[in-house]
């Protein structure tokens, strides 16, 4: 049996090496947080291109600086490898692999189960395994535990097993990962004590909960809350369009209430690896239990309807001079949110497809995304010259990247449909409409 782990502030030297499986948006910044605190980290990934870049001290995640990464690699504080056998040296192993949806919109745990199967032969007595991937309640107990026990070691007896949901906010440089409170849970009380001890050494606030199921559900609540509220504000924006009201002004006014109101902003659709995906993990689990969330269902449907609405408003702006058929549309920003290089689930992809299907000629500009491919079609980001702006029949502002030269766009565009309210209070020679501005153009 394992000894009862002691709570309290451990020093890196007490704990030894940390293993991180999956060096993506979550795993790499997470590994660097441990390095900053003085730990040695072994990072494992199956993507040879990422490993090669990391070995050269090159980051592919905007939130991780090349200089800090290169220093960690040169000093041997971050060692990266594709070989799970390296994890034999780790005292704690954190799993940060993707948890997407299958084609049927069901949880796809294939990355998580693959990582567990690859880890299991190298698992040894006394190690702590932590799952950070977002997933439905019950996964750690029902899926991860049996896989890790295949070699005969028992969770809670011969190794510790814990779950802590990752809350990283890509592109948010104002809040270091260490400042984000970490919800933690363990399979048994000693498992919980062990993760509390480890994470207290890195994170400024650690929030223990009673079970791994609770911690898994807490993450799904956070992201379902965002899906429901963003979908609702997008629906409200459509209402404002019909009623001749400006949603942005309505939100500004409502936001002055000092309690009981939380502001969410409209946009062309919810994207990314988390918000459109995670609530469906909860829905899947609910249906397995014979129930369902009507809010999640409705919010998903609402979210999926927004790109078509944006396209129809854009066409309305072009009329009566033009229809979409034959029009040239330049999309500014294609990522799902500002200042990230992430196209996953981005509504821009749906918008581009709809515009092409309607006969429009589409080009895009995004400083973070050099190429976009949808099926057989592919595009290269153009340079946003005054001439390119002026040549388009309409500019669609999809993503509000910080460096977007909005004044220059307004000064040269023939028409602008703005889904992010960047053009509020601005005017130029061309037609201008914002999503939810009530202009009924």
Cross-strand pairs, 21: 44, 95
Q: CA 123, CA 375: separation in Å to the nearest integer?
A: 41
Cross-strand pairs, 43: 20, 80
Buried b (16+ CB within 10 A) or exposed e, 242-263: eeebbbbebbeeeeeeeeeeee
Q: CA 328, CA 313: separation in Å to the nearest integer?
A: 15
Q: Which is nearer to ligand NAD, 131 or 329 (CB)?
A: 131
Q: Which is nearer to ligand NAD, 144 or 329 (CB)?
A: 144
Contact status: 50 vs ligand NAD (CB under 6 A): yes
Burial status of residue 175 (CB atoms within 10 A of its CB: 0-12, 13-18, 19 or more): exposed
Contact status: 420 vs ligand NAD (CB under 6 A): no
Cross-strand pairs, 182: 206
Contact status: 335 vs ligand NAD (CB under 6 A): no
Contact status: 45 vs ligand NAD (CB under 6 A): yes
Q: Which is nearer to ligand NAD, 97 or 317 (CB)?
A: 97
Report cis status (omega within 30 of 0) of the bond before 91. Answer: no
Stretch that binds ligand NAD, among 96-104, 141-149, 244-252, 328-336 (CB under 6 A): 96-104
What are the CA-CA distances from residue 415 to residues 190, 323, 349, 401 (Å)? 62, 13, 21, 20
Stretch that binds ligand NAD, among 122-130, 162-170, 284-292, 357-365 (CB under 6 A): 162-170
Site string for ligand NAD, 177-216 (x = CB under 6 A): ----------------------------------------
Residue 116 is among the residues annotated as catalytic for this protein? no
Contact status: 97 vs ligand NAD (CB under 6 A): yes
Contact status: 304 vs ligand NAD (CB under 6 A): no
Stretch that binds ligand NAD, among 40-48, 203-211, 308-316, 321-329 (CB under 6 A): 40-48
CB 185 within 8 A of CB 163: yes
Q: Which residues are catalytic?
A: 274
Interacting residues toward ligand NAD by CB under 6 A: 21-27, 44-47, 50, 96-99, 111, 114-115, 118, 133-134, 166-168, 170, 273-274
């Amino acid at each position: 049996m394992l000894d009862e782990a002691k709570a309290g502030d451990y020093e890196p030297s007490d704990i030894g090496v940390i293993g991180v499986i999956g060096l993506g948006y979550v795993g790499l910044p997470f590994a660097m947080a441990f390095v900053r605190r003085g730990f040695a980290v072994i990072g494992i990934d199956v993507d040879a291109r990422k490993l090669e870049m990391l070995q050269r001290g090159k980051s592919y995640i905007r939130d991780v600086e090349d200089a800090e990464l290169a220093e960690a690699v040169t000093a041997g504080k971050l060692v990266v490898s594709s070989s799970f056998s390296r994890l034999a040296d780790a005292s704690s192993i954190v799993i940060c692999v993707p948890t997407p949806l299958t084609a049927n919109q069901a949880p796809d745990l294939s990355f998580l189960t693959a990582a567990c199967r690859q880890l299991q032969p190298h698992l040894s007595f006394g190690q702590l395994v932590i799952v950070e991937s977002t997933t439905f309640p019950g996964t750690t107990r029902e899926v991860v535990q049996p896989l890790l026990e295949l070699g005969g070691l028992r969770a809670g007896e011969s190794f510790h097993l814990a779950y802590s949901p990752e809350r990283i906010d890509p592109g948010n440089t104002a809040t270091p990962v260490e400042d984000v409170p970490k919800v933690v849970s363990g399979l048994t009380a000693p498992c919980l004590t062990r993760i509390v001890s480890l994470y207290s050494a890195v994170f400024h606030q650690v929030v223990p909960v009673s079970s791994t199921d609770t911690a898994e559900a807490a993450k799904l609540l956070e992201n379902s809350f965002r899906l429901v509220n963003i979908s609702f504000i997008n629906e409200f924006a459509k209402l404002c369009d019909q009623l001749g009201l400006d949603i942005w002004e309505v939100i500004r006014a409502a936001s002055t209430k000092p309690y009981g109101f939380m502001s969410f902003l409209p946009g062309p659709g919810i994207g990314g690896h988390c918000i459109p995906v995670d609530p469906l993990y909860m829905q899947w689990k609910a249906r397995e239990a014979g129930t369902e969330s009507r809010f999640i269902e409705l919010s998903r449907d609402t979210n999926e309807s927004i790109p078509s609405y944006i396209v129809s408003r854009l066409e309305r702006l072009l009329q009566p001079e033009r229809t979409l058929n034959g029009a040239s549309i330049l999309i500014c920003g294609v990522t799902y949110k500002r200042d990230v290089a992430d196209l996953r689930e981005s509504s821009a992809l749906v918008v581009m497809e709809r515009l092409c299907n309607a006969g429009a000629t589409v080009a895009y500009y995004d400083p973070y995304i050099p190429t976009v491919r949808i099926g057989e079609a592919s595009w290269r980001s153009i340079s946003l010259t005054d001439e390119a702006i002026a040549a388009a029949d309409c500019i669609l502002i999809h993503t509000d990247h910080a460096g977007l030269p909005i004044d220059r766009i307004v000064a040269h565009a023939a028409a602008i449909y703005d889904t992010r309210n960047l053009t509020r209070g601005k005017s130029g020679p061309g037609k201008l409409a914002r999503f939810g501005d009530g202009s009924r153009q």
